Every structure is written in structure tokens, then in C-alpha cells.
Structure 1
Amino acid sequence: MKPNIESNDFEVKVDKAKLKEKLTSTQYHVTQERGTERAFTGEYYDLKSDGHYHCVVCDAILFKSDEKFDSGCGWPSFYEMAEQGSVKMRPDHSHGMERTESVCAKCGAHLGHLFNDGPMPTGQRYCINSASLKFQGKSKGK
């Protein structure tokens, strides 16, 4: 799926005061202040379990474990979003760089960045902060 640079219109409007109560300080900093956790410190950077990664703010499904790979960068990396449109992109010119920011399409929470150095079939790497994610493992069937 080829991501598009999209607008800032989001389905869910977040109450910042309630989020400060719900989220940890790191989760709030990453998702609401466009922060970044230190490499190799996040809860999910090396998780290999089967399931889905949801937005920690609004619970939207963002990524699947099937599309996760070890990029060696220290953050969870995915080569594709869960469904077309689950993640929006926007230009990021901060820190003197030109990058593409990844945000939750439903609530606008900052997730991380998209780079064009991932594996095939997409060649993309969604470099995502663990603090912006909530993992839900697949239940084992009978």
C-alpha cells in the first residue's frame, strides 16, 4: 500500500487533560508532543508475538505483527500499515531534516516516521515508537 501525505482532519478529537490522566508521561510526550523514545528502550521493539498493534490513544488497529521486521534501528519497524488509510502521513521539517511523519488516521497521535529503506514488497519502513502502541495478541483457537 502506498501511503499518501494527508490532511490534519481526524475522526476522533482528543481531550488533552483526560489523556494526561490516561497515558504515561512518555506516551503523552510521544503521541501529543511529537516526541521520540530512546532507541532499544521501548516495550515492543523486539516483540515477536502474533497479533495487532493498536493506537494507545484511540485503540485503532495500526499494524499487524505479520508486517513487522527487525530493522536494527531500535524501534518497532513495519513495512506496511494494517489497512489502507489506518496511518496518515504528513511532512516533518523538524530538527533540520525532511522526513515523513506517521500519525494515527483516527485521532492524529504521533507514531513515528516513514522511511524508504524497508524490505520488499513495499520498500518502506514505518519506524514507530513503542509508546504510541498497545499490543493485542491473537487468541489461540480451539
Structure 2
Amino acid sequence: MLTRHFRLYLAVALLSAILMTFQSARGPLRPFAIFSRAINTINLTLTLARISISDTLQAISSDKSETRRLEAEVRDLKLRLMEHQKLQKENIRLREMLAFKIAEPRQVAIATVISRSALRWSSSMMIDKGTSDGVQK
């Protein structure tokens, strides 16, 4: 049994001496250098992928905020357009009323119909002018 342990000890010592001689002649051994290159390549690939994904997500977030801003601007412009159209209609109506007043030589009061009678045979209506405006029956 002693010889077996001695042989093992001798083999380890001999292997160590060979390894030290080889390293002193060629420099230190780097058995993991191949793995290091592969790991560095994988690390670089993953880092580039992370940066690309991060940039894409930031662009999407920026696009969403830009979309919200543009939607708010569209709502504002639609409201302004509706107000403009309303003012145009009122302007046309006022011009028509002015033209009617100029064309009619008698004293005329222009009124807006507020409501009409619900009965078919009745032709009564309510207007927004009264005796305080000089309207008589």
C-alpha cells in the first residue's frame, strides 16, 4: 500500500515539475483563455442586444408621449374648427338678417322661433321678441 501512495506522490511531483518547466519556457498556461473569448463574445452580444432593446423601448415611449400630445392638439383644433364654423354660420345668418332689414322699408323686428305648437292644426309659435322690443299684436 505504501508503494501505491508513493507512486501517486511521485507522479504528482513529476507532473508538477514538468508543468513548471513548460511554464518557465513558454509562459504561464491559460487553459480558460478559449472560454474567456467565447464568454466575452456572448457578453458583448448580450450587451448590444440590451442597448438595442433599451433604445427601442425609449423610442416607443417617446412615440407614445408624442401621440398623446398630437391627440390633444387634434382635439383642440377640432374645437377651434367647430367654433369657427359656428361663427361662420352666425355671420351668414346676421348678413341675411341685415339684407332683409335693408330690403324691407317698413319697421321690422327679426326674431328667432323658440318653440312651435305640438298640434298639427295649430300654427302658433313662440319667438324671442316681445312688447319690450316693440312687437305688437
TM-score bracket relative to the smaller structure? under 0.3
Q: What is the TM-score of this pair, normalised by structure 2?
A: 0.17
Which of 1 and 2 has higher RCO (CA within 8 Å, sep 6+)? 1
Which protein has the bigger helix share? 2
Instruction: Give the TM-score of the pair, scaled to structure 1.
Output: 0.17
Compare the two structures and name the one with the higher strand fraction.
1
